[in-house]
Amino acid sequence: MDHIGARIRLARDKSGKPQRVIADACGMSIEWLRRIESGRGSAVVHECHVPILAETLGVTRDWLLGVSDEGGPVRRRDFLRAAGTVAVAGALVPVQRLLPTNRSAAAASVIELSDVNPIEHLARVRAVLVDADNLLGPHHAIPQVVQHIDLIQRLRATRSGADSIELLRMRARFAEFAGWLYQDAGDAEEARRWLDRALEWAHAVGDTEMATYILARKSQLAGDVCDTMAAIDCAAAARHLAQPGSRLHALALTYGAHGEALAGRNAECLRALDNAQELLATMELDPNARWAPWLDAGYVDVHRAQSFTHLGVPQRGIGLFQAAIRDLPPSFRRDRGVYLAREALAHAVSREPEQAAQVGTLALTIAAETQSGRIGSELGRLHAALYEWRAVPMVSEFHGRIAEMAS
């Protein structure tokens, strides 16, 4: 990334945008941007900055990195933003049509779909809601998901036999998704309540795989709120139910490892992560897998990196976080925010306050955009970890932004 600071300065000058605009878009401080542009000191461009800088400055990534002299300053951000807005609106149209304000009318809107298989239809609706959550955050999707859970129960009253069972299975899928949304929104109690319901309904239809997945999710939730024993116990229950050597087995090992790290059990934690990696090495990536299609070696590495922080060796995880952030698809914005916040905490525990504040500010920007409670919780830990360096200008600015967000 030689001379990237000079290229940033050139593109910013041609665009007429002040440093504050560029810094805010990237979630970095003005002081850090000034250091990058001038090439002073230790200021470097984090890899996840590059696509954001390129879009904000209206240049191509290759031009910004000095790989090509083509693709210099052009105005395209407004077009991209407008295109993204249209895409989101289009994705939400089917959901809005299915959600009349009157609940009985909402049920009728599905019941009267005589030319559509209701299970397939509800699966498509759930997929749209998942996409909306990825784009807009949990608060936009929660009311619609909860309404659909009620709607499915009303629809079950009109069906019997196998149809009623399949609708209950779909209700469990929506309930598990509600649990995820509340977890991401930072409401662990409500998340736990929906996961418990989903688990009950999964058992009611005899779906062992779904029950296994939900138990693994309960372990993940417990780990997020540092409930050590629940994280370990739920993962153990999931491993007991999982088919040996399966994707769900690997998932349970991964989440259980977090619990072991919280308990300070170094050997048990790393052994579980190694076992999960070994299992995944025997599987082909399957984006159409019924459960945890996103589970891959990179996902396990993120949990390994997080565990290193809990186990007191954060330096070993920083590179793993950076690789995971680099490889994330652009649409996984909240995951990017979570990973950035965890990387920042690793820098803080490694006594690198300026790097921690810089990376933490990136996560803070995403937290503000998505209203993700998971990112907020990680940033709360970072805020506490940086307290001893509160007089450092970059840390002081980060703390100020945290305070603004909380007010």
Amino acid at 320: L
- Specify whether 262 is located in the same domain as 249: yes
- Specify whether 293 is located in the same domain as 327: no
Q: Please report whether residue 73 resides in a domain.
A: no
Residue at a domain's end among 204, 221, 237: 204
Q: Please report whether residue 318 resides in a domain.
A: no
- Specify whether 99 is located in the same domain as 126: yes
**How much of the chain is in helix, strand and coil states, percent to nearest 5?**
75, 0, 25
Separation of alpha carbons 393 and 31, rounded Å = 9
Residue 103 has pLDDT above 50, yes or no: no
- Specify whether 197 is located in the same domain as 214: no
Q: Please report whether residue 84 resides in a domain.
A: no
Separation of alpha carbons 173 and 178, rounded Å = 9
Q: How many residues can be counted in the chain?
A: 407
Six-digit token string for 402:
């945290």
DSSP per-residue letters across 100-132: -SSHHHHHHHHHT-TTS-HHHHHHHHHHHHHHH
Q: What CATH number corresponds to the domain at position 183?
A: 1.25.40
- 72-77: average pLDDT: 51
DSSP reduced 3-state for 48: coil
- Specify whether 196 is located in the same domain as 213: no
Q: Please report whether residue 83 resides in a domain.
A: no
Q: Please report whether residue 85 resides in a domain.
A: no
Residue 68 has pLDDT above 70, yes or no: yes
The closest alpha carbon to 140, from 89, 192, 100, belongs to 89
Separation of alpha carbons 186 and 350, rounded Å = 27
- Specify whether 98 is located in the same domain as 200: yes
The closest alpha carbon to 195, from 220, 217, 224, belongs to 217
- Specify whether 364 is located in the same domain as 387: yes
pLDDT digit string, tens, across residues 242-251 = 999 999 999 9
- Specify whether 104 is located in the same domain as 130: yes
C-alpha 282: how far from chain center: 26
Q: What is the DSSP letter of 73?
A: S
Q: What is the DSSP letter of 398?
A: H
Q: Please report whether residue 86 resides in a domain.
A: no
- Specify whether 55 is located in the same domain as 120: no
Domain span at residue 355 reads 323-407
Separation of alpha carbons 209 and 181, rounded Å = 21
Average predicted confidence (pLDDT) for the chain = 84
Q: Please report whether residue 71 resides in a domain.
A: no
pLDDT digit string, tens, across residues 199-219 = 999 999 999 999 999 999 999
pLDDT digit string, tens, across residues 14-53 = 877 778 778 766 666 677 788 788 776 555 676 667 777 8
- Specify whether 230 is located in the same domain as 297: yes
Amino acid at 223: G
Q: Please report whether residue 162 resides in a domain.
A: yes
Amino acid at 318: I
Do residues 191 and 221 touch, judged by C-beta distance below 8 A? yes
- Specify whether 95 is located in the same domain as 118: yes
Give the chain's domain count.
Answer: 4
pLDDT digit string, tens, across residues 311-365 = 999 999 999 999 999 988 877 888 899 999 999 999 999 999 999 999 999 999 9
Which of the four pLDDT bands, split at 50, 70 and 90, describes residue 395?
A: very high
- Specify whether 215 is located in the same domain as 300: yes
C-alpha gyration radius of the chain: 23
Rounded to two decimals, the pTM is 0.72
